[in-house]
Structure 1
Amino acid sequence: MLLTISAEGQGSGALSFLLHKHPGKLQTVELSVGSAHVFYPEYSEEKTTAALLLDIDPIGMVRNAKNFAGKEFLLGQYVNDRPYAASSFLSSAISKTFSSAMNGSCKEHPELVDIPLNLTARISVLPAPKGGEVLINKLFEPLGYTVEAERHILDTQFTDWGYGKYFSLTLKNNITLKDLLSHLYVLIPVSDNEKHYFITRDEVDKLLQKGRGWLENHPEKDLIVSRYLINIRSLVRSAFEILSAQEEAPEEDANTDTPVQREKKERLHDLRLQTVAEQLKASGAESVIDLGCGDGKLLKLLLKERQFQRIAGTDVSFSELTKCKDRLHWEEMPPKQKERISLFQSSVTYRDKRFSGFDAAALVEVIEHLDENRLSALEKSVFKYAKPHTIVLTTPNREYNVHYENLAAGKLRHSDHRFEWTRAEFKAWAQKTAETYGYSLVIFPVGEEENTIGAPCQMAVFTYGTQHT
């Protein structure tokens, strides 16, 4: 199983710096079922080629991996193409061997990361069992590649048998190395339509992280998502929901506000987060997850409290998680501080085992961004399956909207809000949810309260295991 990446023309020597692999050495990385060897068949200022050669242990493969490839017959797990044809084994090797390059990290020459190079990638044997050359072109050509796919006959001794599913693939593009590696990481197993390991919810995160910036606009997005996740319906639905949310998320509707109104909204937002943090602290929780953490303002408050020994933040938007890391100064965060916190991408409307095991959860201005018919999915995900002892949830109070001068009657505060409830509607939903899942309930106003219309924001604190009030 061989992959070569060549850079030609001016600056081709940058390839070795970006890959973090010395051109004068043979370097070996141990894999779960074999080894990956990196070496340079050629190195000059005119052309540099790096080779990734996989030496797969077929016995270890059978012992450690799931039953893949050739499962149509009894000896399929022993007689198959996995040690020789490009597959998810190669994707895993790319991720492990060239992780810094794929993540866009180059300490010695960081300025090289975002410079496009004239790159040529060659894969010696790539299976495309369902789609062949047409599929390969549909996957790579929209990303700007010139594609050369040479199809191999089944057996040179018996040419009448015709052609098989295997291709020697050459891809050429003027592109950054990190983008090339991300494309290969995702699209090799998509072409192969197989995985050598069991697929879990983490695969959705991997796909969306490696596909960020190109997958959402790819004309074959649906096909890529489905085949990468080997058509597991729950995971495919989750990935599509996250992608859809990212595509539909508008910019903040602040451009229609006056400076005074923007200042009031900021003060309310700060007050809301401070109130949520106080409720979480009062609950006695030592571990907290912020479901829909956005740009991380609440997480920053929680990190200041030593009471919270374990903190997690999750959001449907990868760009928001990127902003969150910037706000938290993630790269400069002291190791002991970073041990307390984890960030990951997910959707609150799907069951995710990573939501479980926390004393408390926060849902700050989240539910109004969901279609009302999806609330039952959120309830099950958070209240039934994750089931933290304390849940602190906030949402706007629609009755207070008359105070916003630029907001027309009947309009919502934000173009991405699917609904906004009155105090009575919120109380009815909160009581029903508490009763269904065994929580007690207390509702608080957040912000300046008026007799007839209430406060701008409403908060519910759910506590598990005590009698409903």
Structure 2
Amino acid sequence: MHLTIRATGAGAGMLSHLLAKNPSNLYERMEKDSRVRIVFTASSEEEAEAVIYVTPDPVELVKGDSSAHNDITQYINDREFVVSSLFCTYIRSALGTALNGKTKEAYVPWVGRKLNLELALGPVASNLPDRTLTELFTALGYEVLLERGDADYAFDLKSRSSVRYIRLKGMQTLQTALRQLFVLIPALDDYKHYYISDDEVDKIRRYGEGWLEDHPQRGLILKRTLRFAGAIKQYEGWMTRDDKQIENRTPNIALAAGTAGAGFPVALGSDPSMETAEAPKVRLNDLRYAAIAEIVEGLVSRRRIVDFGSGEGKLSARLGSVPGVHEIKAVEPSASAQLRAMDRFAKMEGKSGVTVPEPVTGSLFYYDESLRGKDVMILCEVIEHIDEYRLGRVMDTIFHEYAPGTLIITTPNKEYNAVYEMDQEEMRHGDHRFEWSREAFAAWCSRWTPIYNYSAELKGIGEFDPNYGYPTQMAIFTKGEAL
């Protein structure tokens, strides 16, 4: 992970003074178990270039994380390579003088003077499309160039990669340029390694002063840096200096049922108690679990259930209370998630009328004979984490080999992202490989029904929008009579 700052033309020689670093010396420090280096590759009155390079310790990155205990996948990540909020944390101390504009008195006039700057950073792993990445910086007056690393592949992986290098060029003060990066880098990566507290809101306010309030993508930036409506409201309250509150962009969500175009449900009458300002927000994830449990409870055959991609076991635990369910296999490949699921299942032991789920280590890509012929199989928010070109193989295995009596699948509705004010090409999670519209999901479901003698019913989960439907779409596949 690196950041290169290059200044050319008038005032370029001030770069080292504004950074408070001797261009003849290598700056090297340990910061939070990571080695931070700053080296000047050029230093003259007309051209100066500083390279900030960070080498984290991959072991230290996961030390102290109890959730990663005995899970080798903890080491399989991109955190030691990509420019993210972690990178900003590592270099903040080294760049403190420039960020705060506290240079020596002789150089104070240069703090507010614009330089001809070129900034290069990367690699950046972002789920934002190229167009959005470009717009974030062009709005600040920069020329933007996005690059992908040089590599040869036997298939078109390079063009699908989310990893890019960013090069910026423009006239800007060094302090403002760095502050912009310290706000935008965490927004690009959308990964936070720290708790978002009042200090984080204050940091965004300080670093964003003079440019963020007028940025056309301010809403997106705040959503991806502060995440929570309360933190965003706190920031907006600071900016307006009064009691004005911004509208919470996360809609009230209520489960609805019925039928409308393309087999998706229409909204029924809402519960008045849900419309009051004091009513708590219901998480969409909880509504998914409730909807699935309701479907399962209405099935004639529901004794044996397989919950694929069960994660921390929340849905499996919920299904344990459904009458008539006697066996639940919670299948999950991640050891850390399974450990949390096992803790959850242990608390269910001894409770009357409750079926305790059985944790199973497994994957959709590895056939397990013990999962064959169950009454119900569930893939809750799973398929979008699989590359589309591999999905056919998975579905063939499910319908042909496992042949469950009922298959329940939920996945995001891409159209509904507009309600969340997301960019058209943005996805809800960094690990999503795709998100489908209602039409695309319906077409995909209809592909399997004639081949394997299943029927499919489509439903929606969440608050209905007349233009975009429901945030979550659900398919219920029911096995027909043997031919």
Q: Which has the higher contact order (CA 8 A, sep 6+)?
A: 2
